[in-house]
Structure 1
């Protein structure tokens, strides 16, 4: 029986983390993915727990986007400063992360229908939560692009 560990993956996908300058520590354990600012660490479930390599990398990219907000990188409010779950700064950071995932998925060529639908639903959720801010979409897209540029070592700052 083939497991998802044997699924082909675009060779560009693992390079994203491997070539990121000052990348956070990456560990695999547990069943949830998250970024810890205090440890500058991304925790990911083992790859075999994902239905596809594309899903694994999409989740990894989400956490890497969060890591760019660390005070030693882009120092983004919502990452570098404490915030409460579901607060406005949390929502904006989630929107930035998911937009960044879309950019990185497109860059690596792993946009499939399921990933796209999940991203759209996630972004729509946070836009609904934050709908009173008319400039939010542009601000979030700009910060997501800066995060992606940082990860891809194309950061002009």
Structure 2
């Protein structure tokens, strides 16, 4: 089923994230692979393409397909299996007429949704296509994380020494305590990644309003930016192969603050995840995905 009612889809996704967060489980702390090892990702059984954006959070690792695709391939969905809703942006070109009579084509994004099932656990009669082997890492995750920081193009100044951590848009500078002050490498890199995600919002990079406009502490834009930074940092920690369980030091009060924000704005998680993934791709110097679109917050 597909609809273009964005508010309905936003609320559906927001309700699911709130349900998971209510158990103090942060659903974006998942093992995604930096090297492309699809065993650590949710991928399409039909194409092998990894799911992106909010779908990374909604789906566990594995291969997924729609009921129609499963049936057409000769498989069947197990009795009682409950599918998972995933969302995507469909671009519809349309022609608009300007006041002077000239016409131009604009690309309008419509938010759609559909239901998928896990091939391995929810279907019968089909074999996995893309997730057969395990990726064996020979490099320590902390060294991979250090390389991510070192190789980030157009990165801000990183200054060590202070006891707290913050990013200053006006100075384009990250300040963070020395690595030895953290209880483990995961905590250090998680904190640094959090600030580097903030820095991608600078006007000289992705020009994200929640950074470039320097919103006041406690405002909705500030809260939205903190959500972007937490999701992006968690993605990077997991993509580097680190034990993300060692960085789950978020306080219950902070999580509850996010829950309240989600209740007030059901769009928050979809938009924040899209912006976080864009920030991660910037930090990793990854090419933009072909189906990536600018998502309006209007």
TM-score band, normalised by the shorter chain? Answer: 0.7 to 0.9
**Residue pair 1:42, 1:64 contacting (<8 A) in 2 also:** yes
1:39 maps onto 2:171 in alignment? yes
Residue number in structure 1 paired with 2:278: 146
Residue 145 of structure 2 corresponds to: 13
Q: Which runs of 5+ in 2 are unaligned?
A: 1-139, 290-298
Q: Is the 8 A contact 1:99 1:123 kept in 2?
A: no
1:43-58 superposed matches below 5 A? 43-58=175-190
> Could you list the per-position Cα deviations for residues 88-127 of structure 1 after superposition, in whole angstroms to 9, with x for gaps in the alignment?
0000000000000111011101133231363897455323
Work out which of the residue numbers 247, 264, 273 in structure 2 matches 1:132.
264
Question: Computing the radius of gyration over CA atoms, which structure comes out larger, 1 or 2?
Answer: 2
Sort the Cα spacing of 1:28 and 1:102 in 2 relative to 1 into closer, same or farther, 3 A.
same
Partners of 1:88 and 1:130 within 8 A in 2: no
C-alpha RMSD of the superposition: 2.0
What does 1:97-136 correspond to in 2, within 5 Å? 97-116=229-248, 118=250, 122-136=254-268
Q: Is the 8 A contact 2:193 2:236 kept in 1?
A: yes
Q: Which residue of 2 aligns with 1:64?
A: 196
Alignment partners' CA distance in 1, 2:254 and 2:156: 24
1:76 aligns with 2:208: yes
TM-score (norm 1): 0.87
SS in 1 for 2:206: coil
1:156 corresponds to which of 288, 291, 297: 288
For the residue of structure 1 that corresponds to 2:248, the secondary structure is helix
